[in-house]
Structure 1
Amino acid sequence: MRERIAAELLAARERTAALTDCVEDPDLTAQHSPLMSPLVWDLAHIGNQEELWLLRNIGGRDPMRPEIDPLYDAFEHPRAERPTLPLLPPHEARAYAREVRGRVLDLLDASPMEGDPLLSGGFAFGMIAQHEQQHDETMLITHQLRSGPAALTAPAPPPAPADADALPAEILIPAGPFTMGTDTEPWALDNERPAHRIELDDFLLDTTPVRNGAYQRFIEDGGYRDERWWTPAGWEHRIRADLTAPLFWSREGGQWLRRRFGVTEPVPEDEPVLHVSWYEADAYARWAGRRLPTEAEWEKAARHDPVSGRSRRYPWGDGDPGPEHANLGQRHLRPAAAGSYPAGASPYGVRQLMGDVWEWTASDLRPYPGFRAWPYKEYSEVFFGPEYKVLRGGCFAVAPVACRGTFRNWDYPIRRQIFAGFRTARDPERG
């Protein structure tokens, strides 16, 4: 257990360093979008949360720098205000995070992994590893919003397998019960709990996420100009924000181009569409005569094994993700072609439910029956309600430690800077 915790903490810190060492200090302190914090805020916030939860809560240590706590409280200062705060400069932020980590590794060697619920199964350490990787994803979003030449590079994902074009467009998920959520995943967060049985009708689900080429047909058919396909709130937002295509797309010389981490390139038609809001995903689904899947439908398609009747940790089984299963962990800076990763398919044959793009669902963020906020209300409880839509499955920017079949993400339906796409569903025709 300690070896795994140390490895996850090390992997997260290596990624944090890669995201912050690749640019000069002015880029770290600048706010590249009012939607995002300066990178240097994320860097010190990571260290501050690690100190608060592990050194103070678990270790009983005195605060190292109590005067900075309010600066890095995510609920006290909205992102747009953070550049005006007296933040630690880059060299101090790095030194602070480094000192915290050194003390945490000493604490890890001495801490029992039982007794205190925060220590059972190494939960608090796992929570912090996930927290850092989630901020690494946030920092990667900031890199995508940043102007100027590319600061990050990564190899392209492997090409689609030979059978990608022959896959069925959709797969039937039969009616019946399944177990949603978890009681056994040691590092699962409160909104993933408790496990509960639910009954679903049968439905058909896209085998792969919606491709760029299909989304281009929606645009070319006037999808952004036709109010029929949009919810009233979605149409109002489309007009106000002047939405005409996914974020970072542009039309030049009859060709769709996209800007991706400082590089402008043709939009690849076979990749899952990226950087669309919930409103856009919902409008596309209506235009296609379909709908977005509910969160429960998504999870059943991803986890339910119809042979054994049990729910798996991941679509492919209970083993941790490998590079053959899914596009995770920032190995690549783009989604893989639709139909990729056959080894990661669910028992039903649905592909790419993990990695590549977060997938919008039709569901609002709600607590599960029997939900209990833990270890703090602000992780989930304050976000429950109709304002937030659930996303599932992770994306290429998500680390495996922060991605599993029960993991729930959420955001406002207007958000487009996140690495989000979608797949669609429909009800079978009833005789």
Structure 2
Amino acid sequence: MDALKERLAAELIAARERSHLLTSLDDADLVSQVSPLMSPLVWDLAHVGNYEELWLLREAVGIEPMRPEIDTLYDAFEHPRATRPSLPLLPPGEARAYIGTVRNKVLDTLEGLRPENVPLFEMVIQHEHQHDETMLATHQLRRAPSPLREDGLPAGTAGTDPWTPETRIPAGPFTMGTLDAAAYDNERPAHRVDLPAYFIDTVPVSNGDYLAFLESGGYDDERWWHPEGWRWRQSKRITAPAFWFKEGVWLRRRFGDVEPVPFDQPVQHVCWYEADAYARWAGKRLPTEAEWEKAASWDPEAQKASRYPWGDEYLPGRANLGQRRLQPSAVGSHPEGASPSGVRQLVGDVWEWTSTAFHGYPGFRAHPYKEYSEVFFGHDYKVLRGGSWATDPTAARTTFRNWDLPIRRQIFAGFRCARSA
């Protein structure tokens, strides 16, 4: 139990250090809103502390609310992002003091940790890391220099280890989802899914691959586009991935800096409609999320699924995760992180769009509150899998399900293609 307490404390501290780095800006920058798609950074900062207080102090321990009057301000379902700047939010200094007090109380409660509350701690840790990735997306939308710096992690190259363009996944059943109590409700319960054989791209679609679609006139050819995607593309006059522009050569803006588009990296900042159009142009389709998960987790010889493509233990260096690099690795990198089927980069680098709408699994039960997943079920949201370079390893397991609207491009999302065998 002591080792568990130490691990939880260390993970809470690591997440908070990341949050403080991402909010190490002038107060004016923290309270401003760079896009109606995103909250002011100071909202995210106070929100992670309020969420922590709600679940680890009030729910788990029964401590009286510290600041009940601010609960509605930081209720993500009460106030959409576009309206949050108009709220009487805690100013940066007060927000830091509040979340610091909450954290100190939470660390004090670890001494009397009850086993049934461990999943709540896991949930809060993952929640803060998820908001940290959201704050990274806010930084990407800012045009000013950011406090973010590369930490020297090698860029990652495909090296000399060859790979085939596609990997064939044999027909048959596999176990989808998990029984892990620390997983989110939408990942549960584990259930058997039987799939026909299919092919899936061994690596994500690269910037160079995507450029071929773009320069062939793909954005101007209605044949490749979903009808709603075609209307979106026309109304928004979209002609390239977000943050790309051409001045003789193709350039991209990344955290305030302008640089040539690296054609060997997975394409990112494309929405579902763009991914779907590329797949059609290439004579393929987007994988279903079941196809993605089977390729990522299932070991056909052992007849079992694993938490990561390479096994149940997280091993640094096998994937580009955790904000250690501020961009994807080259396609084909990290061959040691491949799944048993030989598919690479299934976690890290870019979130991957799937063709699947977000719904609950058979036997789904909302936990610990229906607003986490259930209120988003339906055809409006598409499922993304795998995590990006900005995703912490705690939220990059093979069963983790992300979701977003098919027009969203500020997230660190790319894709790979599939086709039926």
Q: Structures share a fold, TM > 0.5?
A: yes
Residue in structure 2 matching 1:5, options 8, 29, 42 = 8
Residue in structure 1 matching 2:19, options 16, 19, 24 = 16
Aligned-pair distance for 1:156?
Answer: 5.6
**TM-score calculated relative to the size of structure 2:** 0.98
> Residue type of the partner of 2:238?
L
Contact 2:156 2:334 in 1 (8 A): no
Structure 2 residue runs without a partner (length 5+) = none
In 1: Cα distance, 2:221 partner to 2:205 partner = 20
Structure 1 residue runs without a partner (length 5+) = none
Aligned-pair distance for 1:427?
Answer: 1.2
In 2: Cα distance, 1:373 partner to 1:157 partner = 41
Structure 1 residue aligned with 2:190 = 195
Contact 2:159 2:333 in 1 (8 A): no
1:241 is aligned to 2:241: no
Aligned-pair distance for 1:56?
Answer: 0.7
Contact 1:257 1:265 in 2 (8 A): yes
Structure 2 residue aligned with 1:378 = 371
Structure 2 residue aligned with 1:176 = 172
1:36-75 paired onto structure 2 within 5 Å? 36-75=38-77
SS at match of 1:197: strand
1:97-136 paired onto structure 2 within 5 Å? 97-114=99-116, 119=117, 122-136=118-132
In 2: Cα distance, 1:157 partner to 1:354 partner = 17
Structure 1 residue aligned with 2:397 = 404
Structure 1 residue aligned with 2:354 = 361
SS at match of 1:224: helix
1:264-343 paired onto structure 2 within 5 Å? 264-320=258-314, 322-343=315-336
Moved more, 225-234 or 145-154: 145-154
> Residue type of the partner of 1:188?
A
1:259 is aligned to 2:253: yes
1:137 is aligned to 2:133: yes
Residue in structure 2 matching 1:27, options 29, 36, 49 = 29
SS at match of 2:42: helix
Contact 1:150 1:263 in 2 (8 A): no
In 2: Cα distance, 1:406 partner to 1:386 partner = 20
In 1: Cα distance, 2:350 partner to 2:99 partner = 30
> Residue type of the partner of 1:403?
A
Structure 2 residue aligned with 1:215 = 210
In 1: Cα distance, 2:61 partner to 2:269 partner = 41
In 1: Cα distance, 2:373 partner to 2:146 partner = 35
1:387-420 deviation digits (Å, cap 9, x = unpaired):
0000000001100112201000000000000000
In 1: Cα distance, 2:172 partner to 2:164 partner = 22
> Residue type of the partner of 1:16?
S
SS at match of 1:251: strand
In 2: Cα distance, 1:427 partner to 1:58 partner = 48
Residue in structure 2 matching 1:351, options 344, 355, 358 = 344
Tell me the C-alpha RMSD between the 2 structures. 0.9
In 1: Cα distance, 2:229 partner to 2:286 partner = 15
1:9-54 deviation digits (Å, cap 9, x = unpaired):
0110010011111x11111011011100000000000110000111
SS at match of 2:287: coil
SS at match of 1:67: helix
SS at match of 2:291: helix
Aligned-pair distance for 1:288?
Answer: 0.3
Equivalent pairs, count = 417
Contact 2:158 2:330 in 1 (8 A): no
CA pair 372-69 structure 1, distance change in 2 beyond 3 A:
same
In 1: Cα distance, 2:155 partner to 2:239 partner = 31
Contact 2:171 2:194 in 1 (8 A): yes
> Residue type of the partner of 1:294?
T
1:413 is aligned to 2:414: no
Structure 2 residue aligned with 1:206 = 201
Structure 2 residue aligned with 1:151 = 147
In 2: Cα distance, 1:55 partner to 1:149 partner = 37
In 2: Cα distance, 1:98 partner to 1:403 partner = 27
Structure 1 residue aligned with 2:159 = 162
Contact 1:299 1:405 in 2 (8 A): yes
SS at match of 2:380: strand
Contact 2:176 2:190 in 1 (8 A): yes
Aligned-pair distance for 1:111?
Answer: 2.1
Aligned-pair distance for 1:186?
Answer: 3.4
> Residue type of the partner of 2:197?
D
Aligned-pair distance for 1:208?
Answer: 0.3
In 2: Cα distance, 1:107 partner to 1:203 partner = 50
In 2: Cα distance, 1:146 partner to 1:12 partner = 22
In 2: Cα distance, 1:390 partner to 1:278 partner = 10
In 1: Cα distance, 2:82 partner to 2:132 partner = 19
Moved more, 153-162 or 198-207: 153-162
Taking only the aligned residue pairs, the percentage that are identical comes to: 65
> Residue type of the partner of 2:137?
I
Aligned-pair distance for 1:151?
Answer: 2.7
In 2: Cα distance, 1:69 partner to 1:265 partner = 42
1:33-88 deviation digits (Å, cap 9, x = unpaired):
11000000000001100001111111111110111111101111111111111100
